Amino acid sequence: MGWRAGLSIKARIWIGFGAVSSLLVLVAVIGLHALGRVADNTERLGGVSAATTRVLAVDGKVADMHRHVMAFAGGPGDLTAIARVRDLQAELLNDFDGALAEAGDGDIRTALTEVRDQVERYGANFQRVAELRTRRERLVGETLLPLGNTLRVQVSGVLNGSLANGDWQSAALAGKAQEGLMQALLAVQRFLAAPGVALADEARAQLGRTGEALALLSERVEEPRQRRALDVVQPRLPQFGAVLDEVARDSYEIERILTKDNVAILARIAESAAAVKQAQLDRLARLTRNRAMPPRRSSAMPC
């Protein structure tokens, strides 16, 4: 028994009461600490859940944005599509800013930043497509088509004049020029409907044949009205070809952005978003386990 043998009953009671009180204080301290950890994990769990929800919504918004971009590029240039793309981009950037604010440091933040940068790049590409589309439509409507109509009318006038004058050789050259011009205009119309290198090359080749026929015709025609018509046509034919080249360059750039740049951007967005979602789900699982883990119990001390 040792030292306890000489203690009075009252002393033993006070010692036992003190020991029990100490154990209760220890249990209370451990419990409060555990509750603090649970509260902290719960708060972090809520933040990660909110961020995860925002990132999970990215796929649908990116797909919707891409659909409107393709509708604008392939259709008549619907202004509502432009507005919708810009609204979706603003929503996406806002979602990523919120997710970044709650992401902290590490791989998740890096991946989120990468996705956000790609969304901004996609929006910049769309702005470029809209600018190119607007310029191309202006060139076509204000220059290319009016020039083509002027050429058609003047060449037809030269042909009709040659036939009226009985100048059959000039009429044959004018007919050849008219045929080349009509083939060129047809190729241009087909190019505008579905841009392609082969159609643009065909239009240029036919314009070249038209120019050759007009050069030979210019050496023969002396009638004043026909001469004036040729003076209108000959300088405008290369101008028509130059405008066609500008339209083709804009069309090719639009096609490159849509089918190469934007496709690559979408692939990177999908890859980075998948990495973000998986990392956040992993963190969510860890926090859930930590939240469910019971506090350690202290071993009972002998009285």
Highest mean pLDDT: which range of 12-16, 100-104, 158-162, 279-283: 158-162
Q: What is the mean pLDDT of residues 2-14?
A: 58
pLDDT of 61: 75
- Residues with Cβ within 8 Å of residue 58, at least 6 apart in sequence: 92, 95, 96, 115, 269, 273
Domains of the chain: 52-291 (1.20.58.920)
pLDDT at position 262 over 60: yes
Residue at token pair 């044949």: 209
- Which of 197, 198, 217, 220 is CA-nearest to residue 209? 217
CA 257 – CA 66 distance, rounded (Å): 12
The answer, yes or no, to whether residue 299 has pLDDT greater than 50, is: no
- Quickly state the pLDDT bin for 243 (edges 50, 70, 90): very high
Angle at 289 between CA 288 and CA 290, to 5 degrees: 90
Return all residues near 15 (Cβ < 8 A) that are at least 6 apart.
7, 303
Backbone angles phi, psi at 15, to 5 degrees: -65, -45
Which of the residue ranges 10-19, 136-145, 233-242 would you say has the lowest mean pLDDT? 10-19
What mean pLDDT do residues 203-225 have? 91
Assess whether pLDDT exceeds 50 at residue 99: yes
